[in-house]
Structure 1
Amino acid sequence: MGLQQERAIRTRRLMLKSAAEVFDREDYASARLSDISARANMSTGALHFHFANKEDLAQAVVSEARGILWRASRLAYEKNSEPLQALTDISHTLGQLLAWDVVSRAGLRLDNDRSRKGREQFLHAWHACVHRLLDRAHQEGGLAAQVQQQALTCAIVASTTGIGVLIKGGEGDRIRMAFTGFWQGFLPGLAAPDVLGTLNPGGTNDVVDYAVNASRYLPYDPEDAVGTDAAPSGVT
């Protein structure tokens, strides 16, 4: 990679981080390109050289965030062979990233902003991931007999997404507590009795820490998501 290309990549990442910081503070409609360019210490013209308009920049933040969160979900999934614990660990991992990574947090909020088109990429992907893991748990005999998978999938997605949208920066401990409380109340009605005792609603610390740290510092490459069965379907 040449020096000019490296500089262009660094500039783009600076723009995305600056945009994420503004989108995290303002809603999409209120955010201004002039504020974003000022935060990145560059002219609005330079910003337009890389992004055609505000929506183009917002979509770039969403795509970057989706890649970070996808990588984290894949890593947490690969570290856990029990599907319900994997689901719990993934939710804790995503919660920690949303608390500490402004790009992830802004991307999720932009994806749920009703003033934008092309929304809910995260919601659909998370729904597919939860459905896949619950289906695997059912096949392995890990679900309680009375569980209706479709209803439980919708409940888990709605609850965890709601927590995620409310997350603010630096709230890692509070978010860990919120997800732990959710799973403490939810798992007893979800897991088969012989599986329930093996599950940790607080998440597996080593798994969560590994997935969060690896995902925060590795840039996302879209090609990583192509042609792999390592992650649950929908974690894209």
Structure 2
Amino acid sequence: MGLQQERAIRTRRLLLRSAAEIFDREDYSSARLCDVSARANMSTGALHFHFANKEDLAQAVVSEARGILWRAARLAYERNSKPLQALTDISHTLGQLLAWDVVSRAGLRLDNDRSRKGRSQFIHPWHACVQRLLDRARREDGLAGHVQLRGLTCAVVTATTGMGVLIKGGEGDRIRTAFTGFWQGFLPGIAAPDTLGGLNPGGTDDVVDHAVTASRYLPYVPENGVGREVVASRAR
């Protein structure tokens, strides 16, 4: 890779982070490109060299966030053999990453911003991930017999997504407590008695810590369908 290309990549990533910081503070309709370029200490011309308009920039933030979050989810999944614990650990991992990483946080919020088009890049793969893990828990007799998978999937997706959108930077401890409280109240109602005793609603520390820490150092390389049921591919 040549020096000019490396410089272009660094510039683009700086603009993405600056945009994420603006989008994390403002909603999509209020955010201004001049504020993004000023925060990056660049001209608006330099910004437009990399991004055609505000939607193009927002989409790039969403795409990067999607890659970071789903790669972290996969890391958490790969270290867990129990589907309900894997689901719990993944939620804790994503919560911690959202509290730490402004790009992930801004991307999720942009994807839920009703003033934008082309949304729902997070909710559909997350729904598929939750559904497949719950399906697997049912096949392995880990769910209580009365549980209806469709309703349970919607409940988990809605609750965790809502919590994720509300996360602010630097709230790692509070977010861990919030997700722990959610699973403490939720797991007893859905897990089979023989399974419940082996579950930790607070998340598996080494699994969550590994997934979050590793995600800090993994460069994101855009791929087709990077967020498409990333955990599900190994849960079949």
TM exceeding 0.5: yes
Alignment partner, residue 8 of structure 1? 8
Q: 1:121 to 1:225 in 2, by over 3 A?
A: closer
Pair 1:92-2:92 in alignment: yes
* Distance (Å, rounded) in 1 between the aligned partners of 2:185 and 2:231: 26
* Distance (Å, rounded) in 2 between the aligned partners of 1:157 and 1:229: 14
Alignment partner, residue 19 of structure 1? 19
Contact 1:125 1:234 (8 Å CA) reproduced: no
Q: Deviations over 1:194-227 (max 9, x none)?
A: 000000000000000000011122111234967x
Contact 1:129 1:234 (8 Å CA) reproduced: no
Q: Deviations over 1:43-65 (max 9, x none)?
A: 00100000000000000000000
The percent of aligned pairs where both chains have the same amino acid is: 82
Runs of 5+ unmatched residues, structure 1: none
Alignment partner, residue 126 of structure 2? 126
* Distance (Å, rounded) in 2 between the aligned partners of 1:7 and 1:194: 56
Pair 1:170-2:170 in alignment: yes
Shift in Å, 1:233: 4.6
Alignment partner, residue 111 of structure 2? 111
Runs of 5+ unmatched residues, structure 2: none
- Number of aligned residues: 234
Shift in Å, 1:7: 1.0
Q: Deviations over 1:74-126 (max 9, x none)?
A: 00010001000000000000000100100000000000000000111101111
* Distance (Å, rounded) in 1 between the aligned partners of 2:48 and 2:110: 20
Equivalent residue runs for 1:129-168 within 5 Å? 129-168=129-168
Shift in Å, 1:230: 7.1
TM-score (norm 1): 0.96
Contact 1:132 1:233 (8 Å CA) reproduced: no
Paired amino acid for 2:176: R
* Distance (Å, rounded) in 1 between the aligned partners of 2:11 and 2:190: 47
- Consecutive aligned runs of 4 or more in structure 1 exceeding 6 Å deviation: none
Alignment partner, residue 51 of structure 2? 51
* Distance (Å, rounded) in 2 between the aligned partners of 1:155 and 1:182: 11
SS, match of residue 122 in structure 2: helix
* Distance (Å, rounded) in 2 between the aligned partners of 1:54 and 1:140: 47
Q: Deviations over 1:142-182 (max 9, x none)?
A: 00111000000000001001100110000000000000000
TM-score (norm 2): 0.96
Contact 2:66 2:104 (8 Å CA) reproduced: yes
Shift in Å, 1:187: 0.2
* Distance (Å, rounded) in 1 between the aligned partners of 2:27 and 2:77: 32
Pair 1:213-2:213 in alignment: yes
* Distance (Å, rounded) in 2 between the aligned partners of 1:223 and 1:26: 28
Alignment partner, residue 231 of structure 1? 231
